[in-house]
C-alpha cells in the first residue's frame, strides 16, 4: 500500500488539478435524473414529448464524444475541456430559462452536444501526464468520479426538494468553476499533442477506426458497458420483485462506490508488486467477478444477499474501469489519443441505447433469474474473448 501512496504523491500537479476539477464537476452533476421533471413541471410539456427530448439528448451525446476527441487533437486538451464545460454551463442556464417546447428542445440538443465534449481530452491528458502509471491514475480518476457521483445524488435529493431548477443552476456554476480551474491551472499548449510532431509511423495510424487493436478494445468496452449499465436499468425492478423497497437501490450504489474506493488502492498496490502482470488477465478476471456478482443478484432474496452481490460486481468493475482505458492509451499514437479515447467511450453510448431495451425485454420475456443469468453469460463470453483481443493488441 505504501508503494501506491508514493506513486500518488509523485503524480504531476496537473493530474491532481484535473482530478479536483472533474470531481467538483461530478459533484454538481445531479441534474439528469431530474431533467424529465423539469420539462414536464416547469416547461409544461407532456411526458411523451419530454421522453422524446430525453432520447434526443442521449443521441446527441454520441457525436459530442466524437467531437471531443477530434477537438482534443486539433486545438488541445485544455482548450477542449474548457469549451465543453462552458458549453454545458450555458446549455443548462438556457434550459432553465426556456418557456417553450422549441426553446427547451434547442437547449437540450446543445446540452447533449456539450455533455461529453470534455471527457476524451480529460482521459487523454491523464495518459500523457502519467505514462508509467496509467492504470493507477485511471483507477484513481474512476474512484473520484464514483465518490463525487454518490455525493451528487445525496445533494440532488436535498436541493431538488426545494427547487428543481436550482439543481441545473448549481450544475452550471460548477461547470463554469471547473473551466476556470482548468483554464487558469494548465498553461496553454503545455500538455497538448501539437507540441511534439508525430512520427511518420504515428501519422499513418491516426485513425482509430482503421486500427484493429482499437476496434478490439471497443468490443471489450462495449461488452463491459452493456452488462454494467444493467445495474441502473433493471436492479431497482429486481429489488421490487423481491419485496424490497426500490429506494434500497441507493444502499447498493453506496456499497458499490465504497467497494470501488477501497478496491482501487488495493489493485494499484498489487500492480506495483507485480509490474510484469498481464493487463488482459486483469480484464478477464474483472469480467468473471462481474458475472458472478450478477449471478448472485439473480438468486438473491434479501437485502444482505444483494449487498454481497454488489460487492462482487463492484470488485469486477474496479478491474474493468481502469485497465482497458490504460490499454487504449498505450495503443493510441501521439496526436490521436483524444480520438482513440472518444472511440472507446462510444462503448458506453452504444450500451446506453441498447442496454435499457435489452434488459427490460429480458425481464418481460425471461424473468429475473434468467435475465441476470444471461447478463452473466455475456460477461463470461467477454472474458473468453479477451485473449483474442490481447493477441490483436500485442501484434499491433
pLDDT tens-digit profile, the chain (396 residues): 444 555 556 677 888 888 888 888 887 676 776 777 788 877 777 877 877 888 788 788 889 999 999 999 988 999 999 999 999 999 999 999 988 889 999 999 999 999 999 999 999 999 988 888 888 889 888 888 888 888 877 777 777 677 778 888 888 999 999 999 998 888 765 556 555 555 545 544 568 998 999 999 999 999 999 999 899 888 988 998 899 887 788 889 889 989 998 888 888 777 776 666 788 999 999 999 999 999 999 999 999 999 999 999 999 999 998 899 999 999 998 889 999 999 999 998 888 778 878 888 888 889 999 999 999 999 999 999 999 999 999 887
> In sequence order, what are the residues at sequence separation of 6 or more whose Cβ sits closer than 8 angstroms to the Cβ of residue 204?
none
116 and 210 co-located in one domain: no
Contact 28, 150 (CB under 8 A): no
* 115 and 254 share one domain: no
Rounded Cα distance between 371 and 361, Å, is: 9
Same domain, 117 and 208: no
Alpha-carbon span 383 to 319, nearest angstrom: 12
Distance CA 64, CA 118 (A): 9
CA 53/CA 47 separation, integer angstroms: 10
For residues 323 and 376, state if they share a domain: yes
- Do 189 and 255 lie in one domain? The reply is no
Count of C-beta atoms within a 10 Å radius of residue 303? 15
Residue 188 Rama label (left phi>0; alpha psi -120 to 50; beta): beta
pLDDT at 10: 66
52 and 121 inside one domain: yes
Give the domain CATH number at 239: 1.20.1250.20
**Assigned domain for 301 exists:** yes
Whether residue 236 is found in the same domain as residue 362: yes
DSSP conformation letters of 29-50: ---GGGHHHHIIIII---HHHH
Residues 263 and 233 in one domain: yes
pTM comes to 0.85
| pLDDT value, residue 82 | 94
Q: Are 395 and 383 in contact (CB under 8 A)?
A: no
**254 domain residue, yes or no:** yes
What's the domain range around 62?
9-133+152-195
Amino acid at each position: 500500500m505504501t508503494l501506491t501512496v508514493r506513486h500518488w504523491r509523485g503524480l504531476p500537479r496537473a493530474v491532481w488539478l484535473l482530478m479536483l476539477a472533474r470531481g467538483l464537476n461530478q459533484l454538481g452533476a445531479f441534474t439528469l435524473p431530474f431533467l424529465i421533471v423539469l420539462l414536464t413541471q416547469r416547461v409544461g410539456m407532456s411526458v411523451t414529448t419530454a421522453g422524446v427530448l430525453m432520447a434526443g439528448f442521449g443521441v446527441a451525446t454520441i457525436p459530442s464524444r466524437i467531437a471531443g476527441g477530434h477537438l482534443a487533437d486539433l486545438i488541445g486538451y485544455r482548450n477542449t475541456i474548457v469549451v465543453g464545460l462552458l458549453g454545458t454551463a450555458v446549455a443548462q442556464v438556457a434550459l432553465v430559462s426556456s418557456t417553450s417546447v422549441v426553446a427547451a428542445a434547442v437547449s437540450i440538443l446543445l446540452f447533449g452536444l456539450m455533455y461529453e465534449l470534455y471527457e476524451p481530452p480529460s482521459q487523454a491528458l491523464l495518459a500523457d501526464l502519467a505514462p508509467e502509471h496509467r492504470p493507477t491514475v485511471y483507477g484513481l480518476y474512476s474512484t473520484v468520479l464514483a465518490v463525487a457521483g454518490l455525493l451528487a445524488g445525496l445533494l440532488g435529493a436535498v436541493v431538488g426538494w426545494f427547487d428543481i431548477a436550482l439543481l441545473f443552476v448549481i450544475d452550471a456554476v460548477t461547470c463554469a468553476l471547473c473551466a476556470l480551474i482548468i483554464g487558469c491551472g494548465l498553461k496553454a499548449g503545455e500538455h497538448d499533442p501539437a507540441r511534439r510532431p508525430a512520427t511518420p509511423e504515428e501519422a499513418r495510424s491516426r485513425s482509430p477506426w482503421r486500427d484493429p487493436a482499437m476496434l478490439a478494445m471497443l468490443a471489450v468496452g462495449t461488452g463491459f458497458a452493456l452488462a454494467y449499465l444493467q445495474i441502473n436499468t433493471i436492479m431497482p425492478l429486481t429489488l421490487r420483485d423481491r419485496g424490497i423497497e426500490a429506494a434500497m437501490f441507493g444502499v447498493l450504489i453506496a456499497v458499490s462506490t465504497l467497494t470501488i474506493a477501497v478496491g482501487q488502492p488495493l489493485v494499484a498496490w498489487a500492480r506495483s508488486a507485480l509490474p510484469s502482470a498481464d493487463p488482459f488477465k486483469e480484464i478477464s478476471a474483472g469480467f468473471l467477478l462481474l458475472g458472478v456478482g450478477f449471478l448472485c443478484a439473480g438468486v438473491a432474496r434479501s437485502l444482505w444477499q444483494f449487498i454481497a452481490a454488489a460487492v462482487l460486481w463492484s470488485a469486477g468493475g474496479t478491474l474493468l474501469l481502469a485497465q482497458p482505458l490504460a490499454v487504449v492509451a498505450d495503443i493510441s499514437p501521439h496526436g490521436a489519443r483524444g480520438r482513440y479515447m472518444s472511440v472507446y467511450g462510444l462503448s458506453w453510448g452504444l450500451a446506453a441505447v441498447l442496454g435499457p431495451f435489452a434488459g427490460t425485454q429480458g425481464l418481460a420475456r425471461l424473468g429475473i433469474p434468467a435475465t441476470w443469468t444471461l447478463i452473466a453469460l455475456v460477461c463470461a463470453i467477454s472474458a473468453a474473448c479477451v485473449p483474442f483481443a490481447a493477441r490483436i493488441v500485442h501484434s499491433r
